[in-house]
Structure 1
């Protein structure tokens, strides 16, 4: 009488062991999906317009610009500049600090023939043209 009970227990145990082995093998198999973090920066290259009269520009990295804007406490226009960068893609833009109100992107300055010419000359001189 004890034999059927033992055989059922052994059979149940082996089925259970097989199930756990199956689950274990699923958990141990390496994932086919690998996540890689991209280190390439998206967006544009930013240049500060230091002097509109002389056409002086200076290239600045986004991280450095963000710290400068926050440090000057002249308003945080960095988000607006970032949005423009994503919009224009892999191009060069310049930002201005008109009347010392903070570094901002002005669409009208990008299209101003005088400033546009000076900016293009700066990019060409420094082999930075986009």
Structure 2
């Protein structure tokens, strides 16, 4: 049986990588910014409005800009957000994007970067292993 949940997370990562972003489909312990990581959202799965037992799956793409909080790092983070949206918008519904605010990355000894979360959604069929 195909694990459609993991496959979709990998697909999102691949789309981001193809757009020139260093992306992960899970959180690396020592990922050094800039990077994007695909994480399950909450709620993760919800009933779809369509017929046939389909579900909506939601992910967040956390975009971590380069180290630092200068205007240059803010602009670089915004560029990453634009690349991510352009890479994902044809395959996934983009439901919201948070402001790129300073975020502490605790796994890197509290390095502070500009970070933003892009929430995306797709409709899947768990029984058939496809979306």
TM-score by length of 1: 0.26
Structure with larger Rg: 1
TM-score by length of 2: 0.26
